């Protein structure tokens, strides 16, 4: 993914985050690694503002968990995030149908 394409994929990245947060609590480094498996190369400086933005919109809720001397911020999907994800899935399904109908 080039920096020119980043705007094009930003919505997909947000949906990917919500998808994983719906399944289990997520954390920043884990999401950077998960997104990298799908070809998205994000730095912490890119990912954390996305997580904070999803939290500000009410789609994610963060809690801090201590493990010895380290604190990890875990994000979970909220009911509003579940509703937004369900609506987005319907739109993505419709779009993908159009994108691939001629193949």
Model confidence over 51-101: pLDDT tens digits? 999 999 999 999 998 888 888 999 999 999 999 999 999 998 898 888 888
pLDDT at 35: 95
Checking if the pLDDT of 2 tops 80, the result is no
What's the rounded Cα separation, in Å, for the pair 89 and 6? 20
What's the maximum distance between 2 C-alpha atoms anywhere in the chain? 55
The token pair at 45 is 């400086």
- Domains (ranges, CATH) in the chain? 6-99 (1.10.10.10)
Whole-number mean pLDDT of the chain?
A: 90
Q: What is the DSSP letter of 57?
A: T
Is the distance from CB of 14 to CB of 50 less than 8 angstroms? yes
Is the distance from CB of 75 to CB of 29 less than 8 angstroms? no
């Amino acid at each position: 993914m080039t920096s020119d394409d980043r705007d094009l994929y930003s919505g997909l990245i947000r949906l990917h985050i919500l998808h994983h947060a719906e399944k289990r609590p997520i954390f920043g480094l884990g999401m950077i690694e998960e997104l990298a498996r799908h070809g998205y190369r994000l730095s912490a400086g890119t990912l954390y503002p996305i997580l904070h933005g999803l939290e500000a919109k009410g789609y994610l809720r963060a809690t801090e968990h201590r493990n010895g001397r380290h604190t990890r911020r875990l994000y979970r999907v909220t009911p509003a995030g579940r509703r937004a994800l369900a609506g987005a899935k319907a739109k993505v399904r419709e779009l993908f149908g159009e994108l691939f109908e001629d193949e």
